[in-house]
Structure 1
Amino acid sequence: MKQEPNHKKIYPRTNDFNTVYLKNVITSSNIIVDDFTMYNDFNNDPKDFEKKNVLYHYPYVNNDKLIIGKYCSIACGAKFIFNSANHTLKSLSTYPFPIFGEEWDDAMNVCEAWDNKGDIVIGNDVWIGFEAVIMSGVHIGDGAIIGTRALVTKDVPPYAIVGGIPAQIIRIRFEDSIIEDLLKIQWWNWSTEKISEKLTAIRSGDIVVLKE
C-alpha cells in the first residue's frame, strides 16, 4: 500500500541517509526552509547543511536570512555565501579593518567591513545543481534550475535555466503563457492529496489538466 507523503520526517527514503528534508534538520531561526525541500550529500552528513553549506552567515550581526521555498532539490555541495564574505568596495582598501577593531580602532562598526546585499531567497520547485554557489542578496524565482558549479551573482527569473561563472541564462524552460499559468496555480501550495491527484499531469507537463 502506498504511503502518504510525510514532510515531517528527516529521511524521505528508507535506508537512504544521504538525503534529508532540510526543514527538519535546521536549527537557526535565520534559515527558513519550507516543506519537502530536500538536500542530498554523498560527501558529508546532509544534516550538517547548516554548518557546511551556509557560509559567512552571522545573523546576530547582519540579521540576514536564507529563505528556501517548497519542493526544492539541492544537490551535493551547493553553497550559500552570505554578506560577511563581501569585503567592502566602498573603502580604498579591501582589508577588513573593522573586524580587527581591537588592533586598529575599537570605535569602528564591524558591519562596515563588508557590503550588505541582503537575504538569499530561493523560490519553490527550484533545482540547485552540484556545487553551485549562490551569493548574498540573490533571489531565485520559482521553477528555476541552477546548473552544476554555477556562480549565481544576480537574480534568476522564474523557470530560467542558468549556468556558468558568473551564471547567465541558458534558456527559459516554458512558454510565457505556461509560466504565467504555473505562477498563478502555485501547485506547491496545494495539499498533498491534491498534488497526488494531479501528479501525472505535473510529471507529464499537462498544463490543461493542472488548471482544471
Structure 2
Amino acid sequence: MPFSRPFALPDPASIHPITLPDGTPHTGTVHLASVLDHPCIEAGAWSYASDFDPPPPDGWTARLAPYLFPFSQEGLRIGRFCQIAHGVRFITASANHATAGISSFPFMVHDPATMTDAQPDRRDTVIGHDVWLGYGALVLPGARIGNGAIIGAGAVVRGTVPDYAVVTGNPATVVRMRFDAAQVARLNALAWWDWPADLIARARPALEADDLDALAALAP
C-alpha cells in the first residue's frame, strides 16, 4: 500500500533515530554506530538500542558489552538494521576464565604484567543484519546470530543461530523458521540492508508486507 507522505530513513549519523509526535527525540533509543566508540566493536548503520534508563552517550558500550575492554582480544560485530531491546547484554569472550588448571581463579588478571595475556577465549561475537534481540536477551561469548533472526525475551544465546530463525529459552533453541530455505537464500542474495537509503525507503511497503516478489522487483 503506498504511503500518503514521503518516507525517509533517519540520518544514520544521528544519535537518536526516533522522533516523537511532538517533535522531540526519544532519548532512550540510540543509533549504535553513533555511541559505541570502541576499538573492538563494529556496528552497522541504522542498528539501534533502547533502554528505559538510558546511560549517557558515552556509557552505552559498558551497558551493552560490560566485559569488552579496549585491550580485549575479541570483537563484537553488529550488522545493519538490528534492534536491541532493554536489558540485552553481550557477554563477550573477555569474561571467560581459564578452566584447564586446578583453579579457575584468574591470577593473571591480578598481575599488571600479565593482564593483557590473561584471555583464554578470543572468539568474536557476530550479529547479522536485521536481527531483533528481545528484552533481556543474553548473548554469550562466540555466539553467531544469522541475518533476520529473532531472539526471544530472556533468551540465553550460545553457538550459531541460523538466518531467519526464531529462538527462545535457556539455552536458546530454534522454535520456528521465519521463511523456508529457498526464501532465506533469496533474502540473503537480495541483501536489502546494503541498498542505498532512498531505495530502502521505497522498499518499506514490501518489507512490511512480507512481499518478497515486490522486494526483488526493486533490487538495484
Q: For residue 12 of structure 1, what is the amino acid of its counterpart? A: P
Residue by residue over 1:129-178, the C-alpha shift from the partner in whole angstroms, topping out at 9 and shown as x without a partner, is 11111111111110011111111121111101111111111111111111
The match for 2:201 among 185, 196, 201 is 196
Q: Is 2:89 the counterpart of 1:85?
A: no
Residues 129 and 146 of structure 1 are in contact (CA less than 8 Å); yes or no, is this contact kept in structure 2? yes
Q: Which moves more between the two structures, 112-121 or 87-96?
A: 112-121
Give yes or no for contact 1:121–1:139 (8 Å, CA) kept in 2: yes
Q: Any conservation in 2 of the 1:41–1:77 contact (CA below 8 Å)?
A: yes
From 1, 8, 12, the counterpart of 1:4:
8
Which one of 38, 41, 45 corresponds to residue 35 of structure 1? 45
| In 2, Cα distance between equivalents of 1:184 and 1:136 | 28
Percent identity, aligned pairs only?
Answer: 33
Q: Gaps (5+ residues) in structure 1?
A: none
Q: Which runs of 5+ in 2 are unaligned?
A: none
CA 1:114–1:30: 2 relative to 1, 3 Å: closer
Q: CA deviation at 1:112?
A: 6.1
- Does the CA contact (< 8 Å) of 2:55 and 2:63 recur in 1? no
RMSD between superposed Cα atoms in Å: 1.8
Moved more, 70-79 or 26-35: 26-35
Residue 164 of structure 2: aligned partner: 159
Letter of the 1:52 partner, please give it.
Answer: R
In the alignment, the residues of structure 2 paired with residue 126 and residue 144 of structure 1 have an alpha-carbon distance, to the nearest angstrom, of 5
Q: 1:111 to 1:83 in 2, by over 3 A?
A: farther
In the alignment, the residues of structure 2 paired with residue 171 and residue 187 of structure 1 have an alpha-carbon distance, to the nearest angstrom, of: 23
Q: Structure 1 stretches (4+) deviating beyond 6 angstroms?
A: none
Give secondary structure in 2 for the equivalent of 1:12: coil
Q: Is the 8 A contact 1:57 1:82 kept in 2?
A: yes
Instruction: Tell me the residue number matched to 2:188.
Output: 183
What is the letter of the counterpart of residue 125 of structure 1? D
1:83 to partner: Cα distance? 1.8
Pairwise CA distance, 1:101: 3.4
Partners of 2:91 and 2:48 lie apart in 1 by 19
- SS of 2:203's equivalent in the other structure is helix
Q: Quick one: structure 1 residues 3 and 197, their matched pair in 2 at CA, closer, same or farther if it must change by over 3 Å?
A: closer
Residue 46 to residue 71, structure 1, CA distance change in 2 (3 Å): farther
Matched, 1:144 2:149: yes
Judging changes above 3 Å, is the alpha-carbon distance between structure 1 residues 28 and 114 closer, same or farther for their aligned structure 2 residues?
closer
Contact 1:20 1:46 in 2 (8 A): no
Q: What's the offset of the Cα at 1:41?
A: 0.5
| Corresponding letter in the other structure for 2:15 | I
Q: What one-letter code is carried by the residue in structure 2 that aligns with 1:153?
A: R
TM-score by length of 1: 0.90
Task: Output the CA distance in 1 between the equivalents of 2:110 and 2:146.
Answer: 38
